[in-house]
């Protein structure tokens, strides 16, 4: 059975390794300039000082490959490939070619066939996901160190470390369950893709409800905003509020402090009118709590889906 699994899925293994290698090579090419900048600009020395802002040096870091960072959200959909190309066709392709009648009537039987395939391919999915997590972590580490990218940021937290492994196992389970339900290759592939994308995007929103961001009112007289630390993720909303937290309309603030001659003048105007900014941020210290919640939720879902797929395959007409 191990040989058969290898023989039937070696092209998937090759494709997975090629993808990881291509991603690694692309990152390595881009990361070279990044690492040089961090060293030569003095940013690494600045970051070593706990109290330094390093503002303009970090802005320089931001200038490096901003378009690439825009592509990162799409990387969160890479695990879907495991479900679409490995999980979904696993059973339907046998049924469509009739080869299930050959392979399930050998002495080892259908149950052994199922358990071996699910075990080996599931393990391979997890390893592929770990590879993704390690490569993404390695690539993003200079950005994370510089505070350009926060490890708990939307689109990022699911790319790092162990989270991609559980997404890959989940996608595989989704594919197997879809294959067991539809018993047709193409509908199973489509269903696995659609459900994965929906669940993945939905989960990103849900995550920040489970870990509600902290918030604070920022007095514009302060030179450096108090609240979030360098690696925390500051949410891209900072509405104007009064001292008691009630929102103040943007147009009102514009009328009061209009186009001010200098930044200092503008801030002084805001202080005079009692205008504060509300800052929301997700502390980077929650990173592992978020990761382990991913592992628990998607790991459990993956096991449930694999069970559904296995039962449907084992019980129904061959």
Q: Which residues bind other proteins (CB under 8 A)?
A: 1-4, 7-8, 97-112, 315, 317-318
Residue placing its CB nearer to other proteins in the complex, 69 or 181: 181
- Across the strands, what pairs with 5? none
Q: Which residues of 111-139 are buried (b: 16+ CB within 10 A; e: fewer)?
A: eebbeebbeebbebbbebbbbbbbbbeeb
Residue placing its CB nearer to other proteins in the complex, 36 or 105: 105
The rounded Cα 181 to chain-centroid distance in angstroms is 28
Residue placing its CB nearer to other proteins in the complex, 105 or 264: 105
Closest contact distance (angstroms) between CB of 304 and other proteins is 24
Residues 183/96, Cβ–Cβ less than 8 Å: no
Rounded CA-CA distance 136/145 in Å is 14
Residues 271/220, Cβ–Cβ less than 8 Å: yes
Residue placing its CB nearer to other proteins in the complex, 22 or 102: 102
Closest contact distance (angstroms) between CB of 72 and other proteins is 37
Which is it for the CA torsion 62, 22, 189, 159, positive or negative?
A: negative
The secondary structure of 163-195 as a DSSP string is: HHHHHHHHHHHHHHHHHHHH-SHHHHHHHHHHH
Structure tokens that stand for 6 in this block? 């290898």
Closest contact distance (angstroms) between CB of 290 and other proteins is 43
Residue placing its CB nearer to other proteins in the complex, 108 or 210: 108
Closest contact distance (angstroms) between CB of 39 and other proteins is 51
Closest contact distance (angstroms) between CB of 180 and other proteins is 15
Closest contact distance (angstroms) between CB of 8 and other proteins is 8
Residue placing its CB nearer to other proteins in the complex, 100 or 231: 100
């Amino acid at each position: 059975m191990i040989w058969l699994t290898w023989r039937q899925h070696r092209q998937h293994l090759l494709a997975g390794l090629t993808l990881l290698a291509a991603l690694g090579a692309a990152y390595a090419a881009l990361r070279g300039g990044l690492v040089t900048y961090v060293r030569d600009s003095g940013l690494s020395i600045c970051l070593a000082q706990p109290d330094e802002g390093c503002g303009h040096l970090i802005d320089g870091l931001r200038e490096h490959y901003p378009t690439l960072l825009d592509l990162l959200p799409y990387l969160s959909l890479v695990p879907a490939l495991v479900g679409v190309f490995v999980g979904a066709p696993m059973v339907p392709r046998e049924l469509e070619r009739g080869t299930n009648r050959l392979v399930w009537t050998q002495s080892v039987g259908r149950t052994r066939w199922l358990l071996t395939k699910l075990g080996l391919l599931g393990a391979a999915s997890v390893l592929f996901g770990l590879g993704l997590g390690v490569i993404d972590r390695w690539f993003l580490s200079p950005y994370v160190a510089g505070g350009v990218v926060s490890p708990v940021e939307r689109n990022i937290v699911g790319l790092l470390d162990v989270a991609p492994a559980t997404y890959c196992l989940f996608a595989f389970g989704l594919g197997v369950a879809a294959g067991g339900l539809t018993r047709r290759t193409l509908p199973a592939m489509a269903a696995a893709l659609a459900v994965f994308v929906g669940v993945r995007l939905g989960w990103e929103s849900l995550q920040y409800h489970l870990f509600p961001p902290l918030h604070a009112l920022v007095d514009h007289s302060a030179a450096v905003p108090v609240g979030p630390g360098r690696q925390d993720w500051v949410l891209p909303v900072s509405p104007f509020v009064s001292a008691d937290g009630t929102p103040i309309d943007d147009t009102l603030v514009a009328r009061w402090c209009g186009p001010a001659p200098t930044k200092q003048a503008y801030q002084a105007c805001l202080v005079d009118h009692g205008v504060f900014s509300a800052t929301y941020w997700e502390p980077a210290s929650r990173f592992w709590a978020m990761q382990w919640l991913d592992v628990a939720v998607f790991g459990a879902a993956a096991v449930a889906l694999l069970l559904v797929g296995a039962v449907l395959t084992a019980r129904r007409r061959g």
